[in-house]
Amino acid sequence: MTHVEHVIVGAGFAGLCAAIKLQEDGEREFLVVEKGSTVGGTWRDNTYPGACCDVPSQLYSYSFASHDWSKSYSPQPEIQDYIERVAQRSGTLDRFAFDTTMEHAAWDADAQRWEVRISGPEGERTVTSTTLIVGAGGLSEPKLPEIDGLDTFQGELFHSARWDHGVDLAGKRVAVIGTGASAIQIIPEVQQVLASTGGHLDVYQRSAPWVIPRNDRTYKGAEATALQRFPALRKVYRTGIYWAHEGYVPAFTMVPKLALPAQKAAEANIALGIKDPALRAKVTPQFAIGCKRILRSNTYYPALAADNTELVTDRIAKVTGNAIVTADGVERPVDVIVVATGFHTTELPITEHITGTAGHTLADAWRTTGMAAYKGTTVPGFPNLFMIVGPNTGQGHTSMVFIIEAQVAYIRDAVRTLRRTGYAAVEPNPAAFRKWNADLQRRMKRTVWNTGGCSSWYLDDQGRNTVLWPKATFTFRRQLASFDLDAYDVRKSA
């Protein structure tokens, strides 16, 4: 059986960052297992029209690989191109196995290592590893809505994250289900295509989101030249953007009134984009701003107000072979249904495929404790398992790449610690794990995510927010700056 020091699952921003940083430490024996055919993760998968990052690119990129971005908010192809370039330059790609799935990883207590079964183009094989680093992403498994008859629909139907570019929308009747971060980027693009081809768009909204302007701009002239020539200037931009975004944290976690300017901006956005009072009322959210992710768009409301769009707020009762029927009995014929209904976030499918010391899976463990980790990274009973973008590391207001780098720094230091001490394995002790999570959940009670009057995918079925980090992101980075061995139970080498 082949042994590698590290198996890294996923080649998105997280897995690639882990590979690059481990290699910088001389850790060359790793295997990155990626189910897709290239790097990029969510940015490879989400190719829907209008796909764009709503965090400015200067911040939504690695601190160690700045880039000459063309716009303040980069479109998906530019981000994907960036990740591919960084990967190429890193000299790590020879250890990536693409089109390969991690079928199952189990901790072998005798050998004190992970036994990882993978399947790819060359069939199925098992490798062993000292660590298992999971960067599989929190938004990688599309969630389909549970709607009666959806599976009987005879037209085209696809999820926003699996856009079917073979389907020509021209002149069609299209329905978009959902009005979240993905939908509000898709809707203006689809509406334009349909407007110019005699097609029609129905948008099915369950709850209206808060949407502030995005004010995207292309870097031009002297600014573009300066950004191209002086990487130091990109750093200045990055720092400014970081602190501007961090300004949201007190509003989300302590003083909701601080979110009033954002609410005013969102209300002005509605007023600017929509003239009809009835439609304005329909799109005005019924919960505190920040309770769900604040979205950014200048084109969403005009698209809803367009003549060829209908915003439907009645609950969907069922889907038939060729129509969507709402609870009021109205049947709207449709050719193409786009489900922009989000992802499995609080019951991550990969956790069914990782078995720890007690012989049960991470999913089983989390059925008891709720989705929880120590520092969002490690879990008792799962030695040398390190998660990136694990429980309570999510951000609604800033760049996940910042969090990813903080977690990778921690993992890197954990690996150095294993090398230095000669320990075979570490796992967080249950007391440290409990204290960390009790503190998080105590803080969570005061946040707008729990008190803002919305139901969101941040909350699990017990109402616990297991997704977001409830403090400043620089606090997160500080807490993970070095590996705290004293919070861990250690296993000596056999």
List residues near ligand NAP by CB under 6 A.
52-55, 139, 145, 147, 160, 177-183, 204, 206-207, 293, 316, 340-343, 457
Print burial letters for 275-305: b (CB count within 10 Å at least 16), e (below 16). eeeebbeebebebbbbbbbbbbbbbbbebbb
Q: Name the amino acid, one letter, at 78.
A: E
Minimum distance from residue 144 beta carbon to ligand NAP (Å): 9
SS3 356: coil
Query: Minimum Å distance from CB 394 to ligand NAP?
Result: 7
The residue (of 52 and 425) whose beta carbon lies closer to ligand NAP is: 52
Rounded Cα gap, residues 427 and 421, in angstroms: 15
Nearer to ligand NAP, 35 or 159 (CB): 159
Classified as helix, coil or strand, 97 is strand
What is the token pair recorded at 161?
Answer: 């994250």
| Coil vs helix vs strand at 459 | strand
Residue 7's DSSP bridge partners are 31, 132
- According to DSSP, the β-strands at 173-177 and 336-339 are parallel
- Using the minimum distance from each CB to ligand NAP, give the nearer residue, 204 or 252: 204
Least Cβ distance, residue 203 to ligand NAP (angstroms): 10
105 versus 147: smaller Cβ distance to ligand NAP: 147
Instruction: Map tokens 């099915």 to a residue.
Output: 204
How far from 32 is each of 117, 141, 376, CA to CA, in Å? 13, 19, 21
Distance CA 414, CA 46 (A): 33
Nearest to ligand NAP of 116, 241 (CB atom): 241
Structure tokens, 280: 């304005």
Indicate the residue whose CB is closest to ligand NAP: 180
Nearer to ligand NAP, 168 or 314 (CB): 314
For residues 28 and 206, which CB has a smaller minimum distance to ligand NAP in the complex? Answer: 206
Backbone torsions φ then ψ of 95, nearest 5 degrees = -110, 25
Shortest gap between Cβ of 323 and ligand NAP (angstroms)?
Answer: 16
| Closest distance to ligand NAP from the beta carbon of 456 (Å) | 7
Least CB distance from residue 316 to ligand NAP, whole Å?
6
The vertex-17 CA angle with 11 and 23, nearest 5°, equals 105
Question: Least distance in Å: CB of 420 to ligand NAP?
Answer: 37
Q: Which helix (H) or strand (E) holds 65?
A: none
**What span, in angstroms and rounded, lies between the C-alpha atoms of 275 and 297?**
17
Q: What angle do CA 129, 62, 347 make, to 5 degrees?
A: 55
In terms of CB distance, is 206 or 446 closer to ligand NAP? Answer: 206
**Residue 379: CB minimum distance to ligand NAP, A:** 23
Select 23 or 207, whichever has its Cβ closest to ligand NAP. 207
Q: Are 43 and 168 in contact (CB under 8 A)?
A: no
Query: In the bound complex, what is the minimum distance in angstroms from residue 186's beta carbon to ligand NAP?
Result: 9
Cβ-Cβ contacts under 8 Å for 130 (sequence gap 6 or more) = 5, 6, 113, 114, 384, 418, 424, 425
Half-sphere exposure of 70 (CA within 13 A, CB side): 9
Min separation Cβ 169 and ligand NAP, Å: 19
Residue closer to ligand NAP, measured from CB, 53 or 371: 53
